[in-house]
Amino acid sequence: MTPKKIIIAIDGVSSSGKSTAAKDVARELGYTYIDSGAMYRAVTLYCIRENLIHQGLVDEKTLKDRIPDIRIEFVFNELTSRSDTYLNGEKVEDEIRNPDVAALVSPVSKIGFVREAMVTLQRELGQEKGIVMDGRDIGTVVFPDAEVKIFLTASPEVRAERRYKELKIKGLDVNYDDILSNLQERDRIDSTREISPLRKADDAIELDNSGMTLEEQKAFILEQVEAWRQRTIQP
Ligand code: DC
């Protein structure tokens, strides 16, 4: 009998390795990986391109009028075996990871109507279950009934070091201290915002992966999935 498909929610602080963990687990289970942060990043890129952010302040009125015209999609890429993010038909997968987007994504993602639109899309994508979704509010707001919830953390220095290496490999001219202060600032805004702040769901399992390998992290999450299955097996 094929096991029942479930929803796995992976939340946590910025650059804690959520997407790597989520992708690894999705691959292992044959599930779909959905990057909810990519959606907020795509809206931020739209705002930057349309000149809707001035000195860190978002022109909310114009953005609200335009939000129905912002189309975000994930398209599976056969070459990389992963999904790429598209904004109004254009592939923006690489551009949304750039530091200029990271610097402005928190003010955009704290806006209520932006969150409502993204949460609606996230729930649509999760309708069939069999997904691993990472973000900040997946276990608390988007899928409060997710069968398995993980909350990832790591020390700020470890996280900044990982992000620094990742961006360097991509050939970007980045500075470790800037990355460290950006992620600390994002954590501050993400956890203190009024709507859907970043917080651990009461029933989430917290994992500090500072000293863990990717294999250990994947194994830990798969153990939680297995533990859920064991708990729900009918006697
Ligand atoms: O996971 P990430 O770093 O790509 O996310 C980018 C930003 O998007 C993050 O700083 C906060 C926001 N975000 C959010 O508010 N809710 C989510 N579910 C996912 C991301």
Looking up tokens 């952010």 gives 53
Instruction: Tell me the CA–centroid distance for residue 136 and ligand 1, in Å.
Output: 6
Percent of the chain with pLDDT over 90: 86
| Residue 220 CB neighbour total at 10 angstroms | 16
Domain residue extents for the chain: 7-232
CB of 66 within 8 A of CB of 50? yes
Check residue 117 and give its pLDDT: 97
pLDDT band of residue 1 (cuts 50, 70, 90) is: low
Residue 161 pLDDT > 90? yes
Residue 16 near ligand 1, beta carbon < 6 Å: no
Check residue 235 and give its pLDDT: 61
For the whole model, what pTM was predicted? 0.93
Check residue 72 and give its pLDDT: 97
Residue 149 pLDDT > 90? yes
Gap between the Cα atoms of 224 and 9, Å rounded? 12
Check residue 82 and give its pLDDT: 84
Give the nearest ligand 1 atom to 109 CA: 15
Check residue 179 and give its pLDDT: 94
Q: What is the mean pLDDT of residues 13-27?
A: 94
Residue nearest to ligand 1 atom 6, measured at CA: 37
Q: What is the mean pLDDT of residues 76-102?
A: 93
Residue nearest to ligand 1 atom 8, measured at CA: 37
Residue nearest to ligand 1 atom 18, measured at CA: 135
Q: What Å distances lie between residue 117 and 13, 72, 140, CA to CA?
A: 22, 10, 17
Check residue 234 and give its pLDDT: 62
Check residue 90 and give its pLDDT: 98
Q: What is the mean pLDDT of residues 56-85?
A: 94
For 194, residues 6+ apart whose C-beta sits below 8 A from its C-beta are 110
Residue 45 pLDDT > 90? yes
Tens-digit pLDDT profile for residues 193-226: 899 999 999 999 999 999 999 999 999 999 999 9
Residue 153 near ligand 1, beta carbon < 6 Å: no
pLDDT, the chain, mean: 94
Pairing mode of beta strands 57-58, 205-208: unpaired
Q: Which fold has domain 7-232?
A: Rossmann fold (3.40.50)
pLDDT band of residue 170 (cuts 50, 70, 90) is: confident
